[in-house]
Amino acid sequence: MNTVSTRPSLKTVLIASGVVLTLAMGVRHGLGFWMQPISQANGWTRETYSLAMAMQNLMWGVFGPFAGMAADRFGTMRVVIFGAFSYMAGLVWMASVTDPTLFIIGSGLFIGMALACTAFGAISGIVGRSAPPEQRSWAFGISSAAGSFGQFLMMPIEQQLISAIGWQNAFYTLAALVVAAMIPMAFFLREPAVSHTGGAQQSVGEAFGEAMRNRSFWLLLCGYFVCGFQLVFIGVHLPSYLKDRGLINPNIAVTALAMIGLFNIVGSYYAGKLGGRFPKRYLLSAIYTARAAVIALFLLLPLSPWSVYLFAACMGVLWLSTVPLTNGIIAGVFGVRHLSMLAGLVFFSHQVGSFLGAWLGGYLYEHQGNYNAVWLITIALGLMAALINLPIDERAVKRAAVAA
């Protein structure tokens, strides 16, 4: 017997998930501002804090598929509430723990788990299930734009909090804000129980096996690895890179990172919109090619505040524009029943890249005294990802005896 329950409207889902994503991504993108004050206060090298950031991103990827499974099975609301409390615990941990090993492990586990439960992987399922197929790519673009708005909104706030009340109190303030804002929004993401109509239902294991046997799924995994490497290296290390190169005014880095978020509101929205009209694989290839070109020009041009702002604006348009296209391909090829879990699997690859981008930046800096090698790696990876996405097959898989 079927259980009838009302699914929240697409507008409600986009607003509530937008608030959650704004905070989840906004706070996360600003964590690079704490690198220097925490390292100086505890006598750490940049490699220690970089490893903590890398661990957060890796754990985000590790927990992502499980958070996605939980969201598909038990509902997005419960997963977001759990993630909000985990976020709070992680921020408090970062403010109070002084042992480097405990700092790396604890912040990695708490923040990584929190982001797995409150960011794109867990949210994508309810967005995909709430939007009709013809609006799905657009809806994913709106969600990505919300994450970008969070970066634009929270960057200046986080920097001002550190300056006004100190880096520890800034963490405590953000911890309270996350819980106070995310939990009420979670109740608007309540989904009805899965209705079992006639026909066989695809299990989690069957969905996983189907994806693992699909060549295009593996191509998405490889491309998303590059996305994670590029974004997290820039997000974590750009402020320190600018200071090393003589741009010591912290407002330049704050403005640049905020501009990335501002311009990616436009980039994410139109990526989702264009994804409904053109092959998504070609759009992804174009994005990775453009990223490589923008980074190369940034390194070749004389460094100044205006060259930094131009770089930020161009990278902003390309920043999270891969998200609606990638999730759109997953939904189109495999359907939306296990979308959060499959998006989490792809995002795991993204976070492996994020781990390497954050850690390798700090490691090579400590051993070479500059970031030159990592910048060159980001360019080479961008060109590789552009080629990897071209052969992706966006057609829906054909299943036997599985209900739609």
Token pair 């608030």 in the structure block, residue: 19
Under 8 Å between Cβ of 143 and 189: no
Beta-carbon neighbour count of residue 399 at 10 Å?
Answer: 14
The whole-angstrom distance between residue 2's C-alpha and the CA centroid of its chain comes to: 36
Length of the chain in residues, anyone? 404
How large is the average pLDDT for residues 337-364? 83
Within 218-373, strands assigned E span: none
The answer to which of 32-36, 148-152, 184-188 has the lowest mean pLDDT is 148-152
Beta-carbon neighbour count of residue 364 at 10 Å?
Answer: 17
How large is the average pLDDT for residues 217-228? 91
CA-wise closest residue to 80 among 168, 15, 16, 161: 16
Which domains are delineated in the chain?
Answer: 10-190+203-389 (1.20.1250.20)
The whole-angstrom distance between residue 129's C-alpha and the CA centroid of its chain comes to: 20
Helices 339-368, 204-212: inter-axial angle, 10-degree rounding: 50
pLDDT, tens digit, for every residue of 198-217? 445 777 788 888 888 889 89
How large is the average pLDDT for residues 352-374? 85
Q: Check residue 338 and give its pLDDT.
A: 79
The whole-angstrom distance between residue 115's C-alpha and the CA centroid of its chain comes to: 8
Q: What is the pTM of this model?
A: 0.76
CA-wise closest residue to 292 among 383, 397, 187: 383
Under 8 Å between Cβ of 116 and 69: no
pLDDT, tens digit, for every residue of 244-277? 888 888 788 888 887 887 898 888 888 888 888 8
pLDDT over 50 at 2, yes or no: no
pLDDT, tens digit, for every residue of 117-144? 998 778 877 888 888 887 887 888 887 7
277: phi then psi, degrees, rounded to nearest 5: -120, -30
CA-wise closest residue to 331 among 106, 43, 187, 124: 124
pLDDT, tens digit, for every residue of 271-320? 888 888 889 999 999 999 999 999 999 999 999 999 999 999 999 999 88
Tokens, residue 380: 């080479």
Token pair 């993630």 in the structure block, residue: 83
Give the 3-state secondary structure percentages of the chain, helix then strand then coil, rounded to 5: 80, 0, 20
Q: Check residue 196 and give its pLDDT.
A: 43
Measured between alpha carbons, how far is 37 from 3 in angstroms, rounded to an integer? 54
Write out the DSSP string of 263-288.
Answer: HHHHHHHHHHHHHTTS-HHHHHHHHH
Beta-carbon neighbour count of residue 127 at 10 Å?
Answer: 28
Measured between alpha carbons, how far is 221 from 292 in angstroms, rounded to an integer? 19
